[in-house]
Chain A
Amino acid sequence: MSLVFAGICSHAPGITGRVNMADRAVTEELYGAYRGMADDLAASKPDALIVVAAEHFANFFMNNMPAFAMGMAESYEGPIEDPKWLGIPHTAVPGNAPLSQQLIREIMQTVDLAYAEEWKFDHGVMVPLSFLTPRYNLPIIPVNINCQGPPLAPLHRAWALGEALRRAADQVPQRIAMIGTGGISHWPATPDSGKINEQWDREFLRRWQSNDKGAMLSYTDEATYRDAGQGGFEIRTFISIAAAARGQGRLQYYRPIPIFSVGCTIANMSIGN
């Protein structure tokens, strides 16, 4: 039928995995914001949720690394990480293979993407789902962008992927929701973990909320690496969502939480024509 919901949120593993090391009031505030997003998502009555997430070497490796990939399985499982380490129990997650196929065929008109009939969800998908669909009863269609092992797809290709996702979502009979998950500035899995460039984050979110394509695509990977760390490469997932939604963003929550290694972010975007 159409795209009925679009949003972005953080997926850092610490959000669920290191909760015992965090300030309780801060965590409650963040978790409340995730619950708010879950309510907005449910109110849109989606038939399926596309999750545009970032590669962390869970499914793909440098022997065969796609710039973009989409899941095409009947069901998925996760987390691939130790459930105790991540704080999320191992579970099966439903997919929708025929719907994936239909979407992929349309996306391929403009974007060459890989598909995968086997896919294990890592924190990039599981952390958001643990809040948004905690009973794992909504069919999920995962999309992966390589934000991890350079060379990475240029930002304008992430934008093109988002446009293709929108075209595809508008062509299927189902009601499609879509979220992008990632961090803005962050230096995860380094000794710098916890470093956050709040000013850079707020500027990126300003560009994202006003859906300023030119400003979002003007970042170079060199500048992003310098100012926002290697984790900043994940802005690709947020950019895809802006391209798909074509609307205006509303920031619901932003707060740097060093023990979670990221400026925790939750926002949604209106669906433009």
Chain B
Amino acid sequence: MSMSLYHMQKFLFDINRDRDLQRQFKEDMRDVLNRYALSPEERGALESGDIGLIYVLGANGQLLMHFAALLGMSWVDYIAAMRAGVGRHGPVRAGVYAMTTRLDEKVADV
């Protein structure tokens, strides 16, 4: 795994479980992200809450699922955002959470 992907996932791990960090992130997102060695693409994806791109960059789904919920995304929107991310940015680039269904598929009717 690339070093920066490790750090992007470390950020997701940290923020998912730390309420103080969640508050800081809401107050000053840039300051929090400065603490992690992210690639420009990862940083941009996190700053804009682009769940589809974070997914394509290879974030582990168990981490991303909770970050999406933290951003206030419903389950249906979260699934759709990942699928749209693959449509926009191509297949998942790392990890074990690749999409195996078609771009226009609705697996669980959502």
Contact = CB atoms under 8 A, between A and B. Distances in A.
Interface of A: 14, 17-18, 21, 56-58, 61-63, 80-82, 85, 120, 148-150, 187-195, 225, 229-230, 258-259, 261
Given A57-B62, A61-B10, A191-B86, A225 B96 contact: yes
Contacts of B64: 189
Contacts of B66: 81-82, 85
A191 B82 contact: yes
A17 B66 CA distance: 13
If over half of B's interface residues share one DSSP class (helix, strand or loop), that class is named, otherwise mixed; here it is helix
Contact of B17 (A58, A149, A195, A258): A58
Contact of A193 (B63, B70, B86, B108): B108
Contacts, number: 84
22 contacts: A17-B75, A61-B10, A62-B9, A62-B10, A80-B16, A80-B17, A85-B66, A148-B60, A149-B60, A188-B62, A189-B60, A189-B62, A189-B64, A190-B100, A191-B101, A191-B107, A192-B101, A192-B107, A193-B79, A194-B107, A259-B110, A261-B108
B99 A190 contact: yes
A61 B16 CA distance: 12
B42 to A, nearest CB: 16
A259 B10 contact: no
Contact of B107 (A62, A150, A195): A195
Interface in B88-103: 96-101
Interface string B49-83: 00000000000111111100110000100010011
A120 B17 contact: yes
A183 to B, nearest CB: 12
Interface of B: 1, 6, 9-10, 13, 16-17, 60-66, 69-70, 75, 79, 82-83, 86, 96-101, 105, 107-110
A230 B69 contact: no
A270 to B, nearest CB: 33
Given A148-B62, A189-B62, A261-B108, A195 B100 contact: yes
A240 B76 CA distance: 34
B65 to A, nearest CB: 4
A14 B96 CA distance: 21
A225 to B, nearest CB: 7
Contacts of B60: 57, 148-149, 189
A120 to B, nearest CB: 7
B109 A190 contact: no
Contacts of B82: 190-191
Given A57-B63, A193-B108, A195-B101, A230 B96 contact: yes
A191 B99 contact: yes
Contact of A61 (B13, B75, B83): B13
A37 to B, nearest CB: 25
A57 B96 CA distance: 14
Contacts of A194: 107-110
A150 B86 CA distance: 23
A-B pairs, 8 with minimum CB distance: A189-B61, A194-B108, A258-B108, A194-B107, A230-B96, A191-B83, A56-B62, A189-B65
A162 B108 CA distance: 34
A194 B75 CA distance: 12
Contacts of A61: 9-10, 13
